[in-house]
Amino acid sequence: MALIVQKYGGSSVANPERIKNIAKKIIARKKAGNDIVVIVSAMGETTDKLIRLARQIHPAPPSQEMDLLLSTGEIVSVALLAIAIESCGHQAVGLPGFLAGITTDTSHTKARIRHINPNRILEELKNGRIVIIAGFQGISFENAITTLGRGGSDLTAIAIAGALKADACEIYTDVEGVFTTDPRLIPEAKIIPIISHEELLEMASAGAKVMQSRAVEFAQKYKIPFVVKSSFTNKGGTMVRDVELKEGAVVSSVILDENQAKITFFHVPDRPGIAAQIFGALGGENINVDMIVQNVSKKDYTDLSFTLNRADLEKGLKISKEVARKIGCREVSADDDVAKITIIGIGMMNHPGVAARMFGTLAAGKINIEMISTSEIRIACVVRKRDGKKALALVHKEFIG
């Protein structure tokens, strides 16, 4: 008898028909002799509707009350799914986050799970019930309802799976798994059968819309394996777990991010503390800087470029110009006509020459590389925006096929 934790996203429970379908799938797994714990998100557009409602009252509603408001969306899904399961003659119990023993800190709208007391869940399982838990929510040490941030139901599922030492954790979504690249851009994109937590995290930070990063970080930290698969098909999905180097593909995924911009400081005095001044000022305004490249110094002066989210460009440029004046830099330029192409793969670690192969592929396509940044399992290049999709296709073909 296995203990299985499943998570169904908003599109899987978007209407009564889909909820009934999910119920059937859950019951089939129960009948096969498993103990089942299910985490659900709010139905379809519910969360967005509630946010719109709150904003009609206040453009920036207070976070504690927003959490109380948004937590209702998942509870509705929980109740309806429990009703669907019971209407098929199986016993179920629906639990809001606080009744499932999920305690968080007090960072409303992006709370962190601090503790899970699994006693209630275990007791309900012992009584033969299918346990349905509201994702995305908990209760703080100060006895206020909290939420875990967008995509927080993934985190709930992974944390519950960890606390219960579940035999399997299955994240059901509206895609068939984690793809080697966005299949809307590259029809040849394939599902990655096995991937490490690290690679999935790199994918998210490279701009791929996969899972909530905090959920993956949590899974990585506590070594919790899980599967990402579609609730609409029966395909295998993607297993996320510790990967032995020899198992992993050299390059597991290729990500194109067209929402980047570049700021360049020209002719910066090359003395200690300048970079700290620039990036300290940006960080102080919550602007996330991604790649940083500094040229070799010429006559005590250098050029310095970095990339940031295009949405932050205006604010970032304003701050940069202020810093430039202070440090005696002549010119700052902004460029949002760029794209970033990233390859990720745990196999790179023992395959030298991957970077050279990537640069060669882009060169063969006559695509100029403007910036390069590498880590143990990632290589990212900034190119002209018009070259982005072509670069993606060439690099995906070279490494994945």
- Between residues 19 and 274, which has the closer beta carbon with respect to its own copies? 19
Residue with tokens 């810093």: 323
Number of residues located near its own copies, criterion CB under 8 A: 38
CB of 136 to its own copies, least distance (A): 14
Upper half-sphere CA count for residue 227 (Cβ side, 13 Å): 18
Q: In this chain, which stretch among 141-149, 318-326, 359-367, 385-393 interacts with its own copies, using CB under 8 A?
A: 141-149
Sheet of 371-375, strand order: 289-294, 301-309, 253-269, 331-344, 378-384, 371-375
CA distance 157 to 211: 12
Q: Kindly tell me which residue out of 120, 190, 310, 389 binds its own copies, with binding defined by CB under 8 A.
A: 120
Report the site for its own copies in 230-289 (rule: CB under 8 A): none
Q: From the list 51, 54, 185, 393, which residue makes contact with its own copies (rule: CB under 8 A)?
A: 54
| Least distance in angstroms from the C-beta of 61 to its own copies | 5
- 72 versus 373: smaller Cβ distance to its own copies: 72
Output the smallest distance, CB 33 to its own copies, in A: 24
Cα–Cα distance, 142 to 137 (Å, whole number)? 14
Q: Segment 65-104, which members bind its own copies (CB under 8 A)? A: 65-66, 68-69, 71-72, 75-76, 78-80, 82-84, 86-87, 92-94, 96, 98-99
In degrees, to the nearest 5, what angle opens at C-alpha 331 toward C-alphas 325 and 337?
125
- The residue ranges of DSSP E strands in 226-370, in sequence order, are 226-230, 238-240, 253-269, 289-294, 301-309, 331-344
- Tell me the Cα Rg of the chain: 24
Residue 185 contacts its own copies per CB under 8 A: no
* Letter string b/e over residues 191-222, b meaning 16 or more CB atoms within 10 A of that residue's CB: bbebbbbbbbbbbbbbbbebbbbbbbbbbbee
Complex with its own copies: residue 20 or 241, whichever CB lies closer: 20
The 11-40 site mask, x for binding its own copies (CB under 8 A), equals -----x--xx--------------------
Inter-helix orientation angle 197-205/213-221, to 10°: 160
Name the site residues for its own copies (rule: CB under 8 A). 16, 19-20, 50, 53-54, 56-58, 61-62, 64-66, 68-69, 71-72, 75-76, 78-80, 82-84, 86-87, 92-94, 96, 98-99, 120, 143-145
